[in-house]
Structure 1
Amino acid sequence: MRIALSTIGSRGDVQPFVLLGSALRARGHDVWLATTPEFENLVQGAGLEFRQLGSFGAGYVEEIMSHPRVQEALRRGPSMYRMAMAAPRPSAAEQLAFTEAMVASAEGADLIINSNLTRIGALAQPGVPWCSVSAWPVTETAAWPALGAPEWPLGGAYNRFTHRAMGTLEWLVYRAGVNQARRASGLPRAGFRSPFRDDGRTRPILYQFSPQIFAPPRDWPEQCHVTGYWSDNTRWEQSAELTEFVEHGAPPLVTTFGSSWLPCGTDLLRATLDAVRATGHRMVIIGGPAADIPDDLDVFRSETADFTWLLPRAAAVLHHAGQGTTAAVVSAGVPQVVVPCYADQPLWARRMHTLGVAPAPVPYAGLTGEKLAAAVRIATTDPEIAARAMKLADAVRGDPGVEAAADVVEAYADSVSR
């Protein structure tokens, strides 16, 4: 079977698709991954064919996230809708070109697997079955409101309404561009009902998080698959200096803010250094903006690290609650301090606190070194947080993960072929 995978975003968005593609390739399928050019080496290094999403060039995410209006919006709060309104908008021609690039990247595929941000391309691909991957819950339910909606205690009817409303707004954003591409393919126009409402019903949706973190609610349809985190525990090279720093001293704090470094880095780094000074901990900082570290702080900086080795050796991990980073920290079994900045990060930050593996989140909006230091003290001194973190890690490691996702893909392909 020829399988086209398509995704955009940061490394945390692309890496899971690489793992899924590798699992499917190991089962004998012909697999390629279409994404932005900065991930070409990552894709090809896994033995997968790389296809670029047309002229959708490197640096798109950086351009959006470094925009002053976006950065100011994030300082006011984590609302992804406020952030979207602040971001530069592509023209109608650019939107059409991107949709057409997604269509072209799947040429020759028997099955297409999309992310939330690339599934619009499948709507202009006549006759090819497709399914989606999501890093956060998007299926309608009475159990909780839609991501980004007010969390008012108004019951199941309200929660369902928020999912319908958010889904309708999302579809209205994409509909015009999708219909332009559909006309070019000789397809009829799509109506006002969002086709994404069928995800999990007529076709699978693969949720790449653990049911230990978010158990599927009873009212989700059977084609919603919460597989467990997608991880292969690949070891990464890291400097001998980093290894020596960690091994010769008390367990350090580890700070890794991933994709949030770009829009929020200066403020995050300042608060982090203030918290180190206030608490007296050693610290490893992964990534972040260029800045001099004061000589009185015991801090080691590195652009990369082997998280499989490093995170279990941390006194606590300070992170942004990106889904991929959260998966790595949960699997490491150590206390967490979470600073959510935007998008789905507040969702995962709240879950970490609810599960008892982190103190209350310290939101980026209003962040100070004093607030961060207070959370660090709780995370590193409460033995129950450490015990719960280890117990949760043991449970998560038992999830089938990416192999379960590959099983679903093969079963779906078999069903549509019949």
Structure 2
Amino acid sequence: MRVLLTTYPEKTIFQPMVTLAWALRTAGHEVRVATQPGFEDVITGAGLTAVPVGRRGVGNWRRLTEAYPDLAEAERVGLPSPYDAAVSGVGTREEMAEGYASILELWHKQNNFPLVTGLVEFARAWQPDLVIWEPTTYAGAIAAKACGAAHGRLLWSIDVFGAARERFLSLGPGPGPDPLAGWIAGYGRKYGFAFDEELITGQFTIDPVPDPIRLDTRLPTLPVQYVPYGGAASVPDWLKRRSDRPRIGLTLGTTATEHFGGYTVSVPDILAALSDVDAEIVATLPDAEAAKVTEVPANARIVPYVPLHALVPTCAAVINHAGPGTYLTTARYGVPQLAVPWEFDEPELARRATVHGSALTLTGSEVSGKAVRAGVLRLLSEPSFTTRARELAARMAATPSPNDVIQALEDHVARRNA
């Protein structure tokens, strides 16, 4: 098969696609990854073939902070409308429509508009059999429809997009507009096809989030084992040796520092509060955040980067922001987590992990050095957290691997072409 993967140019969104792309290649399929110009080095650095299409756009996070100047410094917690309705079950059709209209302008249109024309042109020329798209890169569905290819979504977190759409449709057609459908239908008129819901939620959904953390929908779904990929990396010498004390990881992701005003929690306060704990604290901090730590406790090690899939298996617990890549990597290795989530899907992902019993969560004003210390001590001293974390890891390991999913994708394409 010829398989086209597509996403907007954001590393944390692209990286979850890589292991499936590798699986497709090792199964003998031709694979291309298409996105806007300027992202080629990230794609080729993952050993994949890049296809720059369309034109450069303004970064998604930059647009948000320009539209909402206070966002960079705000306490950022939770999902925006309409996606909040996916987990709360609350919200009228009119409220969700307003949310769709807003998020279209701030996010979806701006991410997709620079990509659509070039992606359709390439798809019609290359004629892929299958298009796999990140769940907000609707340009992938549009290009697949325009060239007659099968297509589906590959998730990177809980499916708030599909669940929100299901709720919106369940509220009836209503007298008002359907902003998302109306926008995509416009491309259908341009490229000669009629709108259908597959253009929003795909013909199938590949979901790496394990049950019971997964946000279930009625959409056709292929569960896939989460296999971490974080980019090119090497293991430092100190990580090759076993620590003589429990190791605690502290990692808060890149989005907060690369796109916003920094972390919403105080790393110096956390390190100070953990300074008397009989453990080795490994904090992965970018230079700007590391500079804020004027006194490094004797039991702490600060590093700019370390491969998470190499660090986590050596840890007794990990403090993190519940970013989906970080959360799923930690869950894969059966390590209890203390989550301090701050935006979009993170609070809900952390809540589900806490309900499951493999994590604890602190949000907003709950977060302090003292509270983090208390949470870490609970994770270390109460065996139930490790037990539940290992149960979840076993469930993830039993889920079909990316290689195992390839046959289902081949079968789907064959049925579509029959």
Could you say whether these structures have the same fold, taking a TM-score greater than 0.5 normalized by the shorter chain as the test? yes
Deviation at 1:111, TM superposition (A): 1.7
**Could you tell me how far apart the structure 1 residues matched to 2:184 and 2:365 are?**
35
Evaluate the alpha carbon distance shift between residue 235 and residue 247 of structure 1 in structure 2; reply closer, same or farther with a 3 A threshold.
Answer: farther
* Percent identity (aligned): 22
Query: 3-state DSSP class of the match of 1:416?
Result: helix
Task: Tell me, yes or no, if structure 1 residue 283 matches structure 2 residue 281.
Answer: yes
Moved more, 89-98 or 29-38: 89-98
Q: Contact 2:4/2:32 (CA < 8 Å) preserved in 1? A: yes
1:403-418 pair list within 5 angstroms: 403-418=403-418
What is the CA deviation profile of residues 267-297 of structure 1, one whole-angstrom value per residue up to 9, with x for unaligned ones?
A: 4452x32122113244222244442422342
**Could you tell me how far apart the structure 2 residues matched to 1:405 and 1:174 are?**
30
Task: Tell me, yes or no, if structure 1 residue 238 matches structure 2 residue 259.
Answer: no
What is the CA deviation profile of residues 322-381 of structure 1, one whole-angstrom value per residue up to 9, with x for unaligned ones?
A: 22211110112212101122222122201211121112x112466333333332232222
Task: Tell me, yes or no, if structure 1 residue 103 matches structure 2 residue 120.
Answer: yes
TM-score for both structures, normalised by structure 2: 0.78
Q: Contact 2:8/2:112 (CA < 8 Å) preserved in 1? A: no
**Could you tell me how far apart the structure 1 residues matched to 2:376 and 2:69 are?**
31
Paired amino acid for 1:101: G
Evaluate the alpha carbon distance shift between residue 216 and residue 119 of structure 1 in structure 2; reply closer, same or farther with a 3 A threshold.
Answer: same
Moved more, 343-352 or 80-89: 80-89
TM-score for both structures, normalised by structure 1: 0.78
Query: 3-state DSSP class of the match of 1:386?
Result: helix
What is the CA deviation profile of residues 141-160 of structure 1, one whole-angstrom value per residue up to 9, with x for unaligned ones?
A: xxxxx46x9xxxxxxxxxx6
**Could you tell me how far apart the structure 2 residues matched to 1:72 and 1:81 are?**
19
**Could you tell me how far apart the structure 2 residues matched to 1:261 and 1:234 are?**
18
Q: Contact 1:102/1:121 (CA < 8 Å) preserved in 2? A: yes
Let me know the Cα RMSD of the aligned residues.
3.7
Q: Contact 1:12/1:323 (CA < 8 Å) preserved in 2? A: no
1:113 to 100, 119, 132: 132
Query: 3-state DSSP class of the match of 2:22?
Result: helix
Evaluate the alpha carbon distance shift between residue 300 and residue 81 of structure 1 in structure 2; reply closer, same or farther with a 3 A threshold.
Answer: farther
Q: Which runs of 5+ in 2 are unaligned?
A: 84-98
Paired amino acid for 2:262: T
**Could you tell me how far apart the structure 2 residues matched to 1:294 and 1:87 are?**
43
Moved more, 387-396 or 207-216: 207-216
Evaluate the alpha carbon distance shift between residue 235 and residue 91 of structure 1 in structure 2; reply closer, same or farther with a 3 A threshold.
Answer: closer
Q: Contact 1:318/1:339 (CA < 8 Å) preserved in 2? A: yes
What is the CA deviation profile of residues 22-71 of structure 1, one whole-angstrom value per residue up to 9, with x for unaligned ones?
A: 111111111101235565334224432101242235x7145246556362
Paired amino acid for 2:282: V
Paired amino acid for 1:266: G
1:55-204 pair list within 5 angstroms: 55-57=55-57, 60-64=59-63, 67=66, 69=69, 71=71, 75=75, 77-81=77-81, 89=106, 96-107=113-124, 108=126, 109-123=128-142, 125-126=145-146, 127-135=148-156, 136-138=158-160, 146=163, 161=167, 164=170, 172-175=178-181, 177-187=183-193, 190=195, 194-196=197-199, 199=202, 203-204=203-204
Paired amino acid for 1:408: A
Q: Contact 2:159/2:215 (CA < 8 Å) preserved in 1? A: no
* TM superposition outliers: structure 1 runs of 4+ over 6 Å: 90-94, 232-235
Q: Contact 2:284/2:302 (CA < 8 Å) preserved in 1? A: yes
**Could you tell me how far apart the structure 2 residues matched to 1:167 and 1:329 are?**
42
**Could you tell me how far apart the structure 1 residues matched to 2:328 and 2:337 are?**
12
Q: Contact 1:254/1:314 (CA < 8 Å) preserved in 2? A: yes
**Could you tell me how far apart the structure 1 residues matched to 2:7 and 2:183 are?**
18
Deviation at 1:114, TM superposition (A): 0.9
- For residue 35 of structure 2, what is the aligned residue in structure 1? 35
Paired amino acid for 1:317: V
What is the CA deviation profile of residues 164-215 of structure 1, one whole-angstrom value per residue up to 9, with x for unaligned ones?
A: 46999xx944445434433432445x4xx7445664xxx2211122235338
